[in-house]
Structure 1
Amino acid sequence: MTPASTTRQPWRFSLAVAIVAGMALAICARIIQLQVTDKAFLIKQGDARSLRHIGLPAYRGLITDRNGQPLSVSTPVTTLWANPRQLLEQRAHWPALAQALEIPPARLEALLLGNRHKAFLYLHRRLAPQVAERMLQQVQALKIDGVHAVQESRRFYPAGATAAHAVGFTDIDNRGSEGIELAYDPLLRGHDGLQQVLKDRRGQLIQDLGVSRPARPGQPLALSLDLRLQYVAHRELHQGIEDNGADAGSVVILDVKTGEILALANQPSYNPNNRAQLSPAMMRNRAVVDVFEPASTIKPFSVAAALESGRWKPGDSVHVDTGTLKVGRYTIRDASRTAGQTLDLTGILVRSSNVAISKVAFDIGAPRIHDLLQRVGLGQATGLEFPGERLGVLPNRPTWRPSETATLAYGYGLSVSAVQLARAYATLVNGGVRLPLSLLRLSAPPKGVQAMAPQVANRVRDMLVQVVEGPRGIYRARVAGYQVGGKSGTARKTGAGVQGYLARSYRAVFAGFAPAAAPRYVIVVVVDNPRQHGFFGGLVAAPLFSRIMAETLRLNQVAPDPG
């Protein structure tokens, strides 16, 4: 080696050291950048590829009756879903997958191909957890990726058809669809939570990182319904509809002192746990959404309006003459044999005379009757805020023709729902105090409105006791051991596309209360189109009232009347 080459060795060595040192510095700088400067960004990117948030479904709030009996509860279920993009790469396994999932192969193929561009597809909704677990184990044994499970809940209704119209039901996504489930859906639904987990690229769970946001269950609701009374109303109404060959019917049981609805039954009904054969007619909460002309059940309010006017006293009488009354081109007739009789106000109600009450109405004028009907809540919201509730029609005319005055007095030309009629009668027998209705259990009675003078209300209440308990009263409405009061009605029906009333088509109605001396309960029974054994309210609806009221008093341990 020459001296010149020897002198160059230190320079080359220094260069090599400098290059190595530079590379080390560059690596250190990159490490610092990754660990310090870009740390948050890189963690975010890593989490985006492996960190997942799994929804924690919030259970809907429990719905109970007033005594804590469950009416709607949430039960755990499992939903299976798939990622079609992943499964498209495993097409050879589709027949085995279809067998494991118990789906026809042709249907599974159509589902996957029809959703080939999606990353989410429902395979089974709301399976029993043990069934879903068995299916997942079979899929995992086949080593098929892309099938997953999510835990959900579904509603179960222990009372079945008994309380279906009041409680309602939820849809497949657990949102309220009918009844209380719909009316109070925001309150019952709650708020879903989130759970953090780590998953690999195949979607398999690696690590549970805990709950990041806890699920908040929905609030519980205690309804005003008494399941014991609800069952009685449902049973008796169902039997009454069958016995009388009727199309439908409703029963409302109302607490006079609080306005709470203790039972709300309709026929036909349905089982909310099995809606495979559900029809719109079965879903109708007729007591709330169906309106009808109340017929003679309005006469007590016409009598009350007469007493309020000061022009009539309880002992004042009306001569019925021939039992018919010509008003313009219309003829008013009495269904009972009243020709030649003279009736006081109590007698008008006992004999249910259209002629006599029309003469009273001509004397006091329709506006007085209209005003009283409005004060007791007809044509107005009841306070239930129930989905689909109808207000009915209470016409307010600037000028009342004689025919309109007469028909208003005996319950035609206006329409009411069963719950409205129940509230009107509760107002009458509660000393004239009108209360808002409630389907929720109340901790204290609400503040009422004095709709009519107490002395007028009490006098008409006593008249209604004679309508049932008097010598010519509606004996089928009587309850052994108790004095009760009430009034029947028989309303002709109208039909779509038919001018006037249908031939031989009626609604039988009875509205009553008990005990007579201090009323606690009002019951309204409506039977739609009875075709066997007659159609009068006193013949068809009154016996149902009697049986339901007897059970209501017994179950609530109301002491029988003395003697």
Structure 2
Amino acid sequence: MKLEGALYPWRFRLVLALLALMVGAISWRIVDLHVVDHTFLQGQGDARSMRHIPIPAHRGLITDRNGEPLAVSTPVVTLWANPKEMLGSRERWSDLARALGQDPKAFAERIEQNSNREFLYLVRGLTPEQGQSVLQHKVPGVYSIEEFRRFYPAGEVTAHVVGFTDVDDRGREGVELAFDQWLAGVPGKRQVLKDRRGQLIRDVQVTKNAKPGKTLALSIDLRLQYLAHRELRNALVENGAKAGSLVMVDVKTGEILAMANQPTYNPNNRRNLQPAAMRNRAMIDVFEPGSTMKPFSMSAALASGRWKPSDTVEVWPGSLQIGRYTIKDVSKTEGRILDLTGILINSSNVGMSKIAFDIGGESIYNVMQQVGLGQDTGLGFPGERVGNLPNYREWRKAETATLSYGYGLSVTAVQMAHAYSVIANGGRSVPLTMTRADRVPDGTQVISEDVAKTMQGMLQQVVEAPRGVFRAQVPGYHVAGKSGTARKATVGAVGYTQNAYRSLFAGFGPMSNPRIAMVVVIDEPSKAGYFGGLVSAPVFGKVMAGALRLMNIAPDNLKAEEQAVAQNAAKKGPL
């Protein structure tokens, strides 16, 4: 081309060359994207239509030690809506509201208020059948999500142990919270194609399989749990009590076989739940244990070598003055002088204090610490309290005396049950566990076996002696234990509440080979009386009797021929 009259013809040629290069580059890019490297455009298209939908994973099953389900996950349907899409079908809102069981007017107001949103829950936790009946109305903008909901077959019986999950299936109380990572599943992913309205076009593939949570077998025996729950509830009604707890421990393995609390709640229906009913009092409530601590003070005396069971102490006139502080025996003792067993049978504060003055408060503190009082139980239960076991640089008489008969310290019912299991297990302490133990754990000898065996015999006399706690006796079995009655400390002030008591009984059996340790705590009985031997001991006797039979443990308090028959029956197993 000849450019006539152009001052700079080379510029025109340069522009044409540049335009040609640009056209060539664009042409090459088009060919490259459609022929050579076509995956880019395909990926961009997929990004606008391909979606990943989560595949829900159910939580692990919680069972008792025998495989009975305590918490199971059931599939449910959650319905949600896109209010922006629903605005075009107002005439169908009333039918949808009625299908959901909601007021049409309130439903319409809710949609209007959230009209600028693209996601709104309509209802959660419907059964698949209920969800399908709503979806059949085919209202534009209404969609469903597959989820799982927790169901608790034992209901209020195991509520404080198992706990519950929230609406998003995360553990919020009890074992559900303590073992949340173990129980929680890992959701999967499913790849699908959707149009611009979000409608599902095609299910492409599963890109990641859902991984369900792991099964958890607790140490709880549901049969014993039902038994403990029933008797504790009856005791509260009979005595007009405010609350109560019962803990049962296998002394050989440290497994918690039952843990009941009253009042309780239904984890399947928490609409009218009272916060106070949610407290696992056996682990959370701390209290002064009263005379139930005397066996450990007595163990310290025996371990010192300065005392033996036949030694005597003068307890007359039933009171002891220490400065401005007076120690009194609650009930009249059977004589002016008592031996060590008699001090336990009569629950003499004066006799126990005189022994404590001789051996010193430090030795009593050491025994109580070794059996787990004032120590973390290691259960890892949410909200569990440690209690308080005081230690003084200088042990004065007042502190020594009060500690010896169970005041000035605070414990939980679980700690008490563990402490008594040490005596029942020949002075050997095994760690507590809420999960089923597959083997007997290694224990630690914290009290000499001779002292523990001696204490077993003395505590057996506390139950079986003429002046003993006869209401705790179990037909066909020898059992041991100690009652206690403790005044309740005033909340937010110094001193004790007037006419407010806790009734306690702690013991174990059978004496031929102790298997079960148990603690019963009744809070503020108000009818027949408040002494531990009157209120809590009968609960111990009834639950222990049922537990020994359910566990098929041979009786050890029968005549020779009856005992032989019972042992043969035990070998054959339950019918």
Which TM-score tier does this pair reach, normalised by the shorter chain?
over 0.9
> Do 2:33 and 2:40's aligned partners in 1 also have CA atoms closer than 8 Å?
no
1:478-497 to 2 correspondences below 5 Å: 478-497=473-492
Is contact 2:73-2:149 (8 Å) kept?
A: yes
- Where does residue 567 of structure 2 map in the other structure? none
Local SS of the residue matching 1:446: coil
Distance 2:328 2:25 in 1: 110
Distance in 1 (alpha carbons) for counterparts of 2:27 and 2:95: 53
2:146 maps to 1:151: yes
Q: Structure 1 stretch 199-208 or stretch 536-545: which is displaced more?
A: 199-208
Number of residue pairs the alignment of both structures matches: 537
Give 3-state SS (helix, strand or coil) of 1:400's partner: coil
Distance in 2 (alpha carbons) for counterparts of 1:317 and 1:295:
22
Q: What's 1:105 paired with?
A: 104
Quote how far apart the aligned CAs of 1:227 are.
0.2
State the partner residue of 2:84.
Answer: 85
- DSSP-derived class of the 2:261 partner: strand
Q: What does residue 535 of structure 1 align with?
A: 530
Residue pair 2:413, 2:521 contacting (<8 A) in 1 also: yes
AA aligned to 1:476 is R
d(CA) in 2 for partners of 1:273 and 1:460? 45
- The C-alpha deviation readout for 1:219-272, integer Å capped at 9, x for no partner, is 000000000000000000000110000000001110000000000000001111
Q: Does 1:117 align with 2:116?
A: yes
Answering whether residue 56 of structure 2 is matched by residue 61 of structure 1, we say no
Question: Counterpart of 1:336 in structure 2: which amino acid?
Answer: S
Structure 1 position 106, deviation (Å): 3.3
Is the counterpart of residue 359 in structure 1 residue 354 in structure 2? yes
Report what 1:170 is aligned to: 165
Partners of 1:497 and 1:263 lie apart in 2 by 32
Aligned partners of 1:537, 1:70: CA distance in 2, in Å?
35
Q: Is the 8 A contact 1:322 1:339 kept in 2?
A: no
Residue in 2 that maps onto 1:126: 125
The structural deviation recorded for 1:440 is 0.2
Judge conservation of contact 1:382–1:437 (CA < 8 Å) in 2.
Answer: yes
Q: Which runs of 5+ in 1 are unaligned?
A: 1-23
User: In structure 1, what is the Cα distance between the partners aligned to 2:465 and 2:164?
Assistant: 45
Aligned to 2:203: 208
- Higher mean C-alpha displacement, 51-60 vs 115-124: 115-124
Q: Which residue, 250, 259, 264 being the options, matches 1:264?
A: 259
**2:386 aligned with 1:391, yes or no?**
yes
CA distance in 1, matches of 2:28, 2:514: 90
Deviation for aligned residue 1:503: 1.1
Which residue in the other structure is 2:459 paired with? 464
Contact 1:146–1:203 (CA under 8 A) maintained in structure 2: no
For 2:306, give the aligned amino acid: R
Quote the offset at 1:91 in angstroms: 4.1
SS of equivalent residue, structure 1 residue 198 = strand
The equivalent of 1:16 in structure 2 is: none
Partner of 2:553: 558
| Contact residue 323 and residue 340 of structure 1 kept, 8 A | no
* Aligned equivalents of 1:108, 1:42: Cα separation in 2: 43
Deviation at 1:470, TM superposition (A): 1.4
Normalising by structure 1, what TM-score? 0.93
Where do 1:237-252 residues align within 5 Å? Answer: 237-252=232-247
The amino acid that maps onto 2:254 is G
- Structure 2 residue identity aligned to 1:480: P
- How far apart in 1 are the matches of 2:294 and 2:398? 16
Q: Determine the structure 2 residue equivalent to 1:195.
A: 190
Q: Contact (CA 8 Å) 1:322, 1:340: kept in 2 or not?
A: no
Residues 1:303 and 2:302 are matched in the alignment: no
CA distance in 1, matches of 2:26, 2:256: 79
Contact 1:320 1:339 in 2 (8 A): no
* Deviation beyond 6 Å, 4+ runs, structure 1: 24-28
In 1: Cα distance, 2:366 partner to 2:297 partner: 10
Matches within 5 A, 1:287-298: 287-298=282-293
Normalised to the residue count of structure 2, the TM-score between the two structures is: 0.91
- Residue 26 of structure 1 deviates from its aligned partner by 9.9
The AA in structure 2 aligned to 1:103 is Q
Q: Does 1:218 align with 2:213?
A: yes
Asked if the contact 2:255–2:432 (Cα under 8 Å) also holds between the matched residues in 1, the reply is yes
Larger deviation: 498-507 or 438-447?
Answer: 498-507
Equivalent-residue separation in structure 2 for 1:534 and 1:401 (angstroms): 34
Partner of residue 15, structure 1 = none
Q: CA deviation at 1:190?
A: 1.3
Structure 2: distance between partners of 1:28 and 1:501: 94
Distance 1:262 1:183 in 2: 18
Inter-partner Cα distance in structure 1 for 2:29 and 2:292: 91
Q: Distance in 2 between matches of 1:228 and 1:97?
A: 46
Say if 1:168 and 1:272, in contact at 8 Å, map to a contact too: yes
2:74 aligns to what? 75
User: C-alpha distance in 1, partners of 2:153/2:89?
Assistant: 44
Equivalent in 430, 442, 445 of residue 447 of structure 1: 442
State which of 382, 397, 402 in structure 1 corresponds to 2:397: 402
Report the Cα distance in structure 2 between the residues aligned to 1:244 and 1:217, rounded to whole angstroms: 46
Supply the distance in 2 between the matched residues of 1:348 and 1:257 (Cα, whole angstroms).
29
Deviations 1:342-365 (A, max 9, x none): 111111101100000000001111
More displaced, 120-129 or 83-92?
A: 83-92
Contact kept, 8 Å, 2:78 with 2:124, in 1: the verdict is yes
User: How far is the alpha carbon of 1:403 from its aligned partner?
Assistant: 1.0
8 Å contact 2:57–2:186 — kept in the other structure? yes
Counterparts of residues 542-553 of structure 1 (less than 5 Å): 542-553=537-548
The DSSP-based 3-state class of the residue aligned with 1:370 is helix
CA distance in 2, matches of 1:111, 1:48: 33
After superposition, give the CA deviation of every residue in 1:140-187 in whole Å (9 maximum; x if it has no partner): 1xxx32110000010000001111100000001000010000000011
The 1:102–1:336 alpha-carbon spacing in structure 2 relative to 1, beyond 3 Å, is closer
Letter in 1 for 2:305: G
Contact conserved, 1:52 with 1:196, CA < 8 A, in 2? yes
Partners of 2:100 and 2:319 lie apart in 1 by 75
Cα deviation, 1:121-145, whole Å, max 9, x if unaligned, reads: 111111111111001101x1xxx32
What CA distance in whole angstroms lies between the structure 2 residues aligned with 1:528 and 1:184? 30
Q: Distance in 2 between matches of 1:387 and 1:27?
A: 66
Change (3 A) 1:412 1:26: closer
User: 1:414-425 alignment to 2 at 5 Å?
Assistant: 414-425=409-420
Partner of 1:52, secondary structure, is strand
Write the distance in 1 (CA, Å) between the matches of 2:100 and 2:296: 65
- What does 1:475-514 align with in structure 2 at a 5 Å threshold? 475-514=470-509
User: Unpaired segments of 5 or more residues in structure 2?
Assistant: 1-22, 560-575
- Residue of structure 1 aligned with 2:343, choices 348, 372, 375: 348
Deviation string 1:24-76 (CA, Å, 9 cap, x unpaired) is 99998565333245523222221122111111111100000000000000001
Once the two structures are TM-superposed, the CA of residue 310 in structure 1 deviates from its matched residue by: 1.2
State whether residues 481 and 507 of structure 2, in contact with CA within 8 Å, keep that contact through their aligned partners in structure 1. yes
User: Which deviates more, 27-36 or 177-186?
Assistant: 27-36
Amino acid at match of 2:416: L
Q: Distance in 1 between matches of 2:462 and 2:513?
A: 17
Q: Distance in 1 between matches of 2:195 and 2:96?
A: 22
- Counterpart of 1:372? 367
Q: Give the structure 2 partner of residue 3 of structure 1.
A: none
CA distance in 2, matches of 1:93, 1:471: 80
